[in-house]
C-alpha cells in the first residue's frame, strides 16, 4: 500500500509531499521518493492530508460508551451507587459487544488506534475490538467482591498473549476495592507473564483521605510498600498526590494516565501534572469512560489538559502544544511498549487528517502542532491499524448497523 503525496510532521514542522509505504502490518518507508514494494497495488491519495501516528487512549472503560448521557451532573458516589453500579449489575456480553463497537467507531473517527481498558467481559471486548480492527491493552477488572474475576485473570492472559492486536494485562481496580492479597496476586501474575498492571490511583480527595486514615499511608506509599510500583504500572488519574507520592511515582517509572475531562466533569480536581512532569514521570492521556467524559476523543483531551494546567497555575507558558501532543503519542508508545511512529519498521497504525478544514487555516510550516492540540475538531478522513484500512474517506463499513444495534441494546439494558 502506498499513501501518496501526504504531509507529515517532522520535529513539529509540516513536511509536504511525502510517500508512506506499508507492507503487511508495518511501514516499509517514509520519504519523498519512497515507492511501494508490497505488490498489492493499493494507493491512497494523500494530498491535502496530514498523516499522524496513531493516538493512544491510555485509560478507558470502552463498553461504558453505552452509558453515554445516562447520568450526568451528579456527585461521584451517588452517581456510582444510584446509576452506574445498578446498570453494570445487569450487563451482558451482548451489551459489551455493542458498547465496545460504538466506542471503537468514535476512536476510529478521532485517530485513536490503540486503547487501554479495564472492565468486565474482556473476552467479548477483545473479540469486538478485533472485529473493528483496533489495537488494545485489555485487563479484566479485579475486585475483592468478585473472586470469580480474579480466577479468570491468568486464563485471560493465556488466551490472548499471542494475539496480533490484543495485549492482555492485569487490572486490579484500586487500593480501596482490592485487598493486599488481591494486589499481590495481580503483581505476581503481571511479573510472571511480563504484562502491564492497570489501576486507578488517587482519583478523589475523599478516597485518599479515608485510605490514609485507615492505613496510615497514602495509596501511592502503600502500593510502593507492596513492591507494586514499577514501569509495568499504568496508573489512571493520580490527582491527589503528596510531594512524596510524586517522587515515588517518578522514581519507580510509573506511567500516569491523566484523564483531564473526567476529572473536571466529576469535579475530582486538577492533577499536579507540572510537578509530575518536573519529577520526570511519564504522562499519557486517557478519556476514561464515556459515562464521565462523555466523548472518547483525545483531541478534546489534549486541549483540556493544556488549558486546565495553564489556568490552574496562572502560567500560559506551561504545557505547550508539543508537550501535550507527546502525551497522546510517544509517551504512550513508551508506556505500553508499542512500536509506533511514522518511520520504516514501525507498525502501520496511523490516520490521515483532512487539512482542508477551517480549523487548520491559516496553516504554516510551524503551526501544525498548535492546530492539532488547540484547534482541531476532528476531520480524520482515514484510519489504518496494522496495515488494515478501518476507515477511508470518512466511511467505516458496518457503521450504520453498529449505531442501530447500540441504540437498541441501550434500550434493552435500561428496561431489563
- Interacting residues with Zn ion (CB under 5 A): 288
367: which 3 cell numbers? 503551526
Nearer to Zn ion among residue 257 and residue 342 (C-beta): 257
Nearer to Zn ion among residue 110 and residue 263 (C-beta): 263
Residue showing the smallest CB distance to Zn ion in the complex: 288
Buried b (16+ CB within 10 A) or exposed e, 393-404: eeebeebeebee
Nearer to Zn ion among residue 288 and residue 301 (C-beta): 288
d(CA 364, CA 380) in angstroms, rounded, equals 19
Give the burial class of 283: count Cβ atoms within 10 A of its Cβ; 0-12 exposed, 13-18 middle, 19 or more buried.
buried
Nearer to Zn ion among residue 288 and residue 349 (C-beta): 288
92: which 3 cell numbers? 451482558
d(CA 386, CA 350) in angstroms, rounded, equals 9
CA gyration radius, the chain: 21
For residue 384, the minimal CB distance to Zn ion (Å) is 28
Nearer to Zn ion among residue 26 and residue 83 (C-beta): 83
Nearer to Zn ion among residue 173 and residue 371 (C-beta): 173
For residue 288, the minimal CB distance to Zn ion (Å) is 5
Of 58, 111, 110, residue with least CA distance to 281: 58
Q: How far is the CA of 40 from the CAs of 7, 21, 384, in angstroms?
A: 23, 11, 16
Q: What pairs with residue 138 in β-bridges?
A: 117, 168
Amino acid at each position: 500500500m502506498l499513501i501518496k503525496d501526504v504531509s507529515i510532521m517532522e520535529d513539529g514542522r509540516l513536511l509536504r509531499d511525502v510517500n508512506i509505504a506499508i507492507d503487511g502490518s508495518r511501514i516499509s518507508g517514509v520519504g519523498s521518493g519512497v515507492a511501494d514494494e508490497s505488490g498489492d497495488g493499493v494507493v491512497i491519495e494523500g494530498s491535502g492530508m496530514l498523516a499522524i501516528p496513531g493516538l493512544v487512549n491510555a485509560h478507558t472503560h470502552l463498553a461504558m460508551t453505552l452509558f453515554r448521557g445516562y447520568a450526568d451532573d451528579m456527585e461521584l458516589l451517588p452517581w456510582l451507587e444510584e446509576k452506574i453500579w445498578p446498570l453494570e449489575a445487569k450487563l451482558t456480553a451482548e451489551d459489551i459487544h455493542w458498547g465496545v463497537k460504538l466506542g471503537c467507531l468514535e476512536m476510529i473517527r478521532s485517530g485513536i488506534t490503540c486503547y487501554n481498558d479495564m472492565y468486565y467481559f474482556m473476552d467479548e471486548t477483545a473479540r469486538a475490538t478485533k472485529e473493528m480492527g483496533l489495537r488494545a491493552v485489555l485487563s479484566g477488572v479485579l475486585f475483592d467482591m468478585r473472586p470469580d474475576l480474579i480466577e479468570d485473570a491468568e486464563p485471560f492472559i493465556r488466551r490472548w498473549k499471542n494475539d496480533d492486536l490484543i495485549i492482555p494485562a492485569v487490572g486490579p481496580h484500586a487500593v480501596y476495592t482490592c485487598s493486599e492479597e488481591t494486589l499481590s496476586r495481580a503483581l505476581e501474575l503481571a511479573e510472571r507473564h511480563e504484562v502491564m498492571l492497570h489501576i486507578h490511583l488517587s482519583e478523589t480527595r475523599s478516597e485518599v483521605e479515608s485510605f490514609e486514615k485507615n492505613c496510615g499511608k497514602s495509596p501511592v506509599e502503600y502500593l510502593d510498600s507492596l513492591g507494586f510500583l514499577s514501569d509495568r504500572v499504568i496508573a489512571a488519574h493520580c490527582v491527589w498526590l503528596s510531594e512524596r507520592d510524586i517522587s515515588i511515582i517518578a522514581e519507580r517509572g510509573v506511567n500516569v494516565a491523566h484523564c483531564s475531562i473526567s476529572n473536571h466533569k466529576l469535579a475530582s480536581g486538577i492533577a499536579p501534572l507540572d510537578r509530575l512532569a518536573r519529577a520526570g514521570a511519564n504522562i499519557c492521556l486517557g478519556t476514561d469512560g464515556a459515562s464521565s467524559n462523555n466523548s472518547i476523543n483525545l483531541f478534546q483531551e489534549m486541549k483540556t489538559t493544556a488549558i486546565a494546567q495553564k489556568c490552574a497555575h496562572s502560567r500560559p507558558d506551561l504545557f505547550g502544544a508539543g508537550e501535550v501532543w507527546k502525551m497522546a503519542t510517544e509517551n504512550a508508545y513508551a508506556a505500553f511498549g508499542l512500536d509506533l511512529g511514522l518511520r520504516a519498521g514501525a507498525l502501520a497504525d496511523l490516520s490521515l487528517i483532512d487539512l482542508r478544514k477551517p480549523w487548520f487555516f491559516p496553516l504554516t510550516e510551524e503551526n501544525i502542532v498548535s492546530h492539532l492540540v488547540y484547534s482541531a475538531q476532528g476531520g480524520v478522513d482515514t484510519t489504518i491499524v496494522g496495515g488494515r484500512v478501518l476507515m477511508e474517506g470518512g466511511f467505516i463499513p458496518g457503521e450504520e448497523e453498529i449505531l442501530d444495534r447500540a441504540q437498541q441494546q441501550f434500550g434493552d439494558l435500561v428496561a431489563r
